[in-house]
């Protein structure tokens, strides 16, 4: 009997050592061997030693009953009927950090919040939370310091759709979107849907007067009714000088574009002096501005003041002064630009319209001179309308209005005319003073590097730096490398943006209307700051009314092609 007990104690000691070394599992608690092992532990003096040993292996922490230190668990399965071993595991190491430095760690792939401020755009890509955003609303809440955004994305991924949704929310808030030069006609349907004004420019679509006083000149008669007020009188004089300066600049620019070189200084002086004298005529006023033909006729006659300024002592010398200028002006009436500039403006901009779209999609895209001239005239009219609204507000004759200017296909706008880069640059610096939000849209950062002059390229590079927010759609890795000098992307954000640039997987479709969709369509990363803070990935969603009225369908001409037949 004694021999048997000693043999059992030795067997239990061996089992106990194997359990401590991790080579064996403790026997089931309610089995015969388990009960024997439990009695042996109670009676053995080695129990205290094993407890100390477990404490040492656990780093000095008193172990919980049935606890095994983290990492000591062996990958063994569970055996026996109704059996199973559940041990308490020590937790893994934990660290605490800020959200700026910790973004990109699992599970917080992109850790920025999704504020619901402004126009509803869609849902957060990772959390599914609602996301709302537009420059004016975020500027009002202090999220961004400048009411502007720069949008970058490859073609066909929904840039224009995202901006139209923002503009739609702006109209609902009482803001006035202005699309001064809609090159592809993508905002015509939106403008018509909100009851705005669509002005179509092109061959056979009316006239555009370079000498038109615009909305700024048409408010002068209204201001003159209150000119007893000194501040209003000063505003009238300021408006007249601004209109005169804009007319001279427009004529000079158009002549320069037609010649392919700058206008001479004395020619610009003669144009300015002639325009001042024309407004002294009884037939010309602010509601009936002069046209180019009026300017040509006045220069042909040549007043005594003009001849003195032009240093022309006789008729022959006067003809020498104006021959080249009159020829260039005549070419604007019927030349490369057709008859677009040969009459009064057919459809002036209405200041109180809910939205304004100047559609230039009918302009021949291959005619760079024509496109440049039309774009300059459109932008001149748009800025005149904004200034007119602010002047009426300052005089207390109208409420303060807020505008939103959109530059879609910005690479074409910037390269359309020599002075466009400077105009956009001034707008990015003064848009807060003008109570104007600015949306700049292009395909890639390389579009800015393709501008013709080094000065224009350096100026355009600052557009992203001054933008209140940057919105990135699908972009290739090479584009992110260039943008890394302007923005900071976490590895998770960069991987997400690059994945959105991939095309739809090829497939054979036998069902009509079954078309593959690129994974990045409608997905954008909103970066409200440039200090490395995490961005907000959003998937834009269309409302039922947007789908029914096809406000965002830019493939309308392919509709029959998509629906006819199927791939065999």
Q: How far apart are CA 335 and CA 325, in angstroms?
A: 15
427 domain-assigned:
yes
Structure tokens given for 279? 């407004």
H helix runs in 395-551, sequence order:
410-416, 420-430, 446-449, 454-466, 477-483, 491-500, 544-548
Last residue of a domain, one of 348, 375, 401: 401
pLDDT at 196: 92
Distances in Å between the Cα of 44 and the Cα atoms of 53, 111, 516, 537 are: 15, 55, 73, 63
Q: How many independent structural domains does the chain possess?
A: 3
Judgement on whether residues 239 and 183 belong to the same structural domain of the protein: yes
Q: How far apart are CA 112 and CA 92, in angstroms?
A: 26
Q: Which phi-psi region, left, alpha or beta, contains residue 456 (left: φ > 0; alpha: ψ -120 to 50)?
A: alpha
Judgement on whether residues 137 and 160 belong to the same structural domain of the protein: yes
pLDDT at 525: 92
| CATH assignment of the domain containing 538 | 3.40.50.300
Domain span holding position 301: 178-401
Q: Tokens 């507000």 map to which residue?
A: 393
Judgement on whether residues 348 and 458 belong to the same structural domain of the protein: no
DSSP 8-state secondary structure symbol assigned to residue 217: H
Task: Output the DSSP codes for 346-370.
Answer: SSPPPTT-S-EEEE-TTS-TT-HHH
Judgement on whether residues 144 and 119 belong to the same structural domain of the protein: yes
Judgement on whether residues 206 and 352 belong to the same structural domain of the protein: yes
Structure tokens given for 275? 């325009």
94 domain-assigned:
no
Judgement on whether residues 191 and 334 belong to the same structural domain of the protein: yes
Judgement on whether residues 376 and 396 belong to the same structural domain of the protein: yes
Q: How far apart are CA 380 and CA 319, in angstroms?
A: 31
Judgement on whether residues 62 and 139 belong to the same structural domain of the protein: no
End-to-end, the C-alpha distance of the chain in Å comes to: 89
pLDDT at 387: 83
97 domain-assigned:
no
Structure tokens given for 394? 């300052």
Mean pLDDT split into 10-residue runs, the chain, 568 residues: 65 80 78 83 64 55 50 46 54 69 53 76 87 91 89 87 90 90 84 89 81 83 81 83 86 82 88 89 75 91 89 89 91 78 84 87 71 76 83 84 85 67 71 81 78 76 84 87 80 88 65 66 87 84 74 62 52
161 domain-assigned:
yes
Pair type for strands 120-124 and 536-540: antiparallel
Judgement on whether residues 71 and 120 belong to the same structural domain of the protein: no
Structure tokens given for 182? 């809609």
Judgement on whether residues 395 and 409 belong to the same structural domain of the protein: no
- DSSP β-bridge partners for residue 285: 288
Contact 177, 356 (CB under 8 A): yes
pTM of the complete model? 0.70
Last residue of a domain, one of 56, 89, 122: 89
pLDDT at 218: 82
Angle at 221 between CA 199 and CA 245, to 5 degrees: 65
Task: Output the DSSP codes for 125-185.
Answer: TTT--EEE--HHHHHHHTSSSSSEEEEE--TTSSHHHHHHHHHHHHHHTT-EEEEEEESS-
336 domain-assigned:
yes
């Amino acid at each position: 009997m004694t021999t048997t007990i000693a043999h059992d104690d030795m067997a239990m000691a061996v089992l106990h050592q194997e359990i401590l070394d991790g080579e064996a599992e403790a026997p089931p608690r309610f089995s015969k061997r388990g009960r024997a092992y439990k009695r042996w532990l109670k009676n053995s003096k080695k129990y205290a030693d094993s407890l100390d040993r477990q404490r040492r292996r656990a780093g000095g922490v008193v172990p919980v009953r049935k606890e095994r230190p983290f990492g000591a668990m062996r990958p063994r399965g569970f055996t026996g009927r109704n059996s199973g071993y559940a041990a308490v595991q020590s937790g893994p190491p934990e660290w605490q950090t800020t959200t700026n430095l910790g973004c990109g760690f699992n599970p917080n792939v992109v850790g920025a919040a999704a504020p619901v401020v402004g126009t509803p755009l869609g849902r957060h890509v990772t959390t599914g939370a609602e996301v709302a955003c537009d420059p004016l609303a975020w500027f009002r809440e202090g999220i961004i310091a400048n009411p502007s955004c720069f949008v970058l994305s490859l073609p066909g991924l929904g840039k224009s759709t995202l901006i139209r949704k923002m503009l739609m929310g702006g109209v609902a808030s009482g803001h006035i979107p202005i699309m001064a030069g809609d090159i592809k006609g993508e905002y015509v349907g939106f403008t018509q849907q909100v009851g705005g004004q669509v002005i179509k420019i092109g061959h056979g679509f009316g006239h555009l007067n370079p000498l038109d006083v615009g909305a700024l000149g048409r408010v002068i008669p209204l201001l003159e009714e209150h000119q007893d007020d000194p501040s209003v009188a000063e505003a009238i004089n300021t408006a007249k000088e601004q209109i005169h300066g804009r007319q001279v600049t427009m004529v000079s620019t158009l002549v320069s574009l037609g010649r392919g070189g700058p206008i001479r200084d004395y020619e610009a002086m003669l144009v300015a002096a002639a325009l001042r004298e024309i407004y002294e005529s009884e037939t010309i006023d602010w509601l009936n501005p002069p046209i180019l033909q009026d300017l040509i006729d006045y220069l042909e006659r040549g007043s005594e003041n003009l001849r003195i300024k032009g240093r022309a002592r006789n008729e022959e010398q006067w003809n020498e002064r104006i021959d080249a200028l009159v020829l260039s002006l005549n070419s604007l009436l019927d030349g490369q630009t057709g008859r677009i500039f040969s009459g009064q403006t057919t459809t002036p901009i209405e200041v109180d319209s809910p939205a304004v779209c100047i559609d230039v999609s009918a302009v021949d895209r291959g005619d760079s001179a024509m496109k440049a001239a039309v774009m300059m005239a459109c932008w001149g009219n748009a800025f005149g309308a904004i200034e007119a609204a602010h002047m009426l507000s300052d005089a207390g004759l109208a409420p303060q209005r807020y505008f939103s200017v959109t530059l879609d296909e910005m690479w074409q706008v910037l390269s359309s005319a020599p002075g466009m880069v400077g105009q956009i640059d001034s707008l990015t610096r003064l848009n807060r003073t003008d109570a104007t939000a600015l949306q700049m849209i292009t395909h890639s950062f390389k579009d800015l590097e393709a501008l013709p002059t080094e000065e224009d390229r350096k100026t355009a590079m600052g557009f992203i730096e001054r933008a209140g927010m940057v919105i990135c759609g699908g972009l290739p890795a090479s584009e992110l490398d260039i943008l890394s000098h302007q923005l900071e992307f976490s590895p998770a954000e960069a991987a997400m943006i690059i994945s959105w640039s991939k095309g739809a997987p090829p497939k054979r479709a036998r069902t009509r209307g079954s078309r593959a969709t690129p994974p990045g369509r409608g997905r954008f990363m909103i970066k409200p700051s440039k200090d490395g803070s995490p961005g907000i990935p959003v998937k834009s969603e269309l409302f039922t009314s947007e789908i029914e009225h096809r406000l965002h369908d830019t493939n309308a001409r392919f509709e029959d092609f998509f629906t006819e037949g199927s791939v065999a």
